Amino acid sequence: MIKLDNHPSGRHFLQIPGPSPVPDRILRAISLPTIDHRGPEFGVLGRKVVAGMQQVFQTKHPVAIYPSSGTGAWEAALANTMSPGDSVLMFETGYFATLWQKMAQRLGLETEFLALPGTDDATGLPNSWRHGVQPELIEQRLRKDSAQRIRAVCVVHNETSTGVTSDIAAVRRAIDAAGHPALLMVDTISGLASADYRHDEWGVDVTVSGSQKGLMLPPGIGFNALSPKALEASRAARLPRCYWAWDEIVEMSASGYWPYTPNTNLLYGLSEALDMLLEEGLPKVFARHRRWSAGVRAAVAAWGLPTQCADDKLHSPVLTGVITPRGVDADAVRRLIHERFDLSLGTGLGKVKGRMFRIGHLGDCNDLTLMATLAGVEMGLKLMGVQLAGSGVAAAMEHFST
Ligand code: PLP
């Protein structure tokens, strides 16, 4: 029989880019007794988490909070703003951008999926999966849309499958430069609360996020941050929606309640996560993740391996994708590391399956967690017979001790 908790000694190292390790403080908050979700105590909790999430999204406008995974929040963004047959312009940056595009098709939308063409000579991997969104390609496409059929531009801020971020403010500028009225919808499911994100300042209409990454919670809460333009679009949109409908949820959650049973205990956890993040201050939280990311990259560079992100300005603060040498199955490396060292790394997804693995540096994590993680990876690579140029662990120690 397979045991569910098979970690005989010490703590499991969950270094995937989400779900991230949950701090004890949050686990304790989640264990509070469930309360009446229509009673007065709940209203205090509901109002607190909505106001706190507005601070995290850096918005003054409504935030809808769903008992759902991130996929539900993706669907909510589209179902509330689009009508059957509407056109959306999306950009291929990796696996999650691809899944969102497939969802839009399944919802009856016409999708156009822009991508950076070609493959990278050194690795043989698609360029589009090593770089961010190209705002100039979006601008060019929108300029050609003289009938203004495109209703939304949808992009992923922190592509969890590759470890590449995209410049969202530049996408907004591209839409404005083309003089196009399309909504801007952004997935920052894995970026929020680890990477700087500014819903209002960057002119985003709908931001989609989830609980199990930078918010350090278990999976199960989805978010839509809205703009007045998105709310206006939702009044005319005709895709059917009920569970996801913004009108009721936004109206009720202003007073701290939900139109249906919310996930009370996860909301306790969210309240605790907000206390932790806002006590530390978002700029410090972002700097902490950037520093971890640079430390992990120092290790990868010392090993002599390429990162999946090929653009130095766009490395994710949340995760690092590591490309294994040709002929070395990245999933075999991951499996060995899991079996020998009880360390979970993220698998390569979609077009990069077997070619890379992902190291998460988010959630309940610190310099020493990452040192142990890098030691596990280095030992695993050596056990797999990969010739390393040098010690990544030594390079990361240097980075973390300055
Ligand atoms: N978008 C991104 C960028 C993600 O990282 C994920 C999950 O990892 C999703 C969407 C899908 O979210 P979920 O798995 O919570 O439904």
Alpha-carbon distance of 38 to 256, in angstroms, equals 9
Distance 213 CA to ligand 1 centre (A): 9
Residue pointed to by tokens 């017979």: 385
Position 1 confidence tier, pLDDT thresholds 50, 70, 90: low
Phi and psi based region of residue 85 (left: phi greater than 0; alpha: psi -120 to 50; beta: remaining): left
User: Is the pLDDT score of 95 beyond 90?
Assistant: yes
Q: Which ranges of 66-167 would DSSP assign to H, the alpha helix? A: 70-81, 95-106, 135-144
The minimum-distance atom of ligand 1 relative to the CA of 73 is: 16
What letter would DSSP give residue 128? G
The encoded tokens of residue 101 equal 């595009």
State mean pLDDT over 103-115.
98
What CA–CA distances, in Å, run from 299 to 269, 303, 400?
33, 6, 11
Q: What share of the chain is helix, strand, coil (3-state, %, to 5)?
A: 45, 15, 40
Residue 317 Cβ inside 6 Å of ligand 1? The answer reads no
How many contiguous H segments (helices) and E segments (strands) does the chain have? 13, 13
pLDDT digits (tens, 9 = 90+) for 288-333: 999 999 999 999 999 999 999 999 999 999 999 999 999 999 999 9
Phi and psi based region of residue 44 (left: phi greater than 0; alpha: psi -120 to 50; beta: remaining): alpha
Closest C-alpha to ligand 1, atom 5? 160
Cβ neighbours of residue 282 closer than 8 Å, sequence gap 6 or more:
55, 56, 193, 196
Position 179 confidence tier, pLDDT thresholds 50, 70, 90: very high
Q: Each residue of 328-343: b (16+ CB within 10 Å) or e?
A: bebbebbeebbeebbb
* Nearest Cα residue to 292 out of 311, 322, 323, 317: 317
Distance 69 CA to ligand 1 centre (A): 8
Mean pLDDT for all residues in the chain = 97
Specify the range with the lowest mean pLDDT, choosing from 5-19, 62-76, 153-167.
5-19
What CA–CA distances, in Å, run from 343 to 2, 40, 190, 193, 336?
18, 43, 20, 24, 9
Amino acid type, 284: K
Closest C-alpha to ligand 1, atom 13? 70
The minimum-distance atom of ligand 1 relative to the CA of 219 is: 15
% of the chain exceeding 70 in pLDDT: 100
Residue 210 Cβ inside 6 Å of ligand 1? The answer reads yes
Residue pointed to by tokens 């120690």: 397
Q: What are phi and psi of 185, to 5 degrees?
A: -115, 135
User: Is the pLDDT score of 5 beyond 80?
Assistant: no
pLDDT digits (tens, 9 = 90+) for 196-244: 999 999 999 999 999 999 999 999 999 999 999 999 999 999 999 999 9
pLDDT digits (tens, 9 = 90+) for 366-391: 999 999 999 999 999 999 999 999 99
pLDDT digits (tens, 9 = 90+) for 21-52: 999 999 999 999 999 999 999 999 999 999 99
Residue 189 Cβ inside 6 Å of ligand 1? The answer reads yes
Residue 187 Cβ inside 6 Å of ligand 1? The answer reads yes
Cβ neighbours of residue 12 closer than 8 Å, sequence gap 6 or more:
342, 343, 344
Identify the pLDDT of residue 8: 77
Residue 160 Cβ inside 6 Å of ligand 1? The answer reads yes
Residue 219 Cβ inside 6 Å of ligand 1? The answer reads yes
Identify the pLDDT of residue 4: 79
Amino acid type, 190: S
Q: How far apart are the first and last CA of the chain?
A: 48
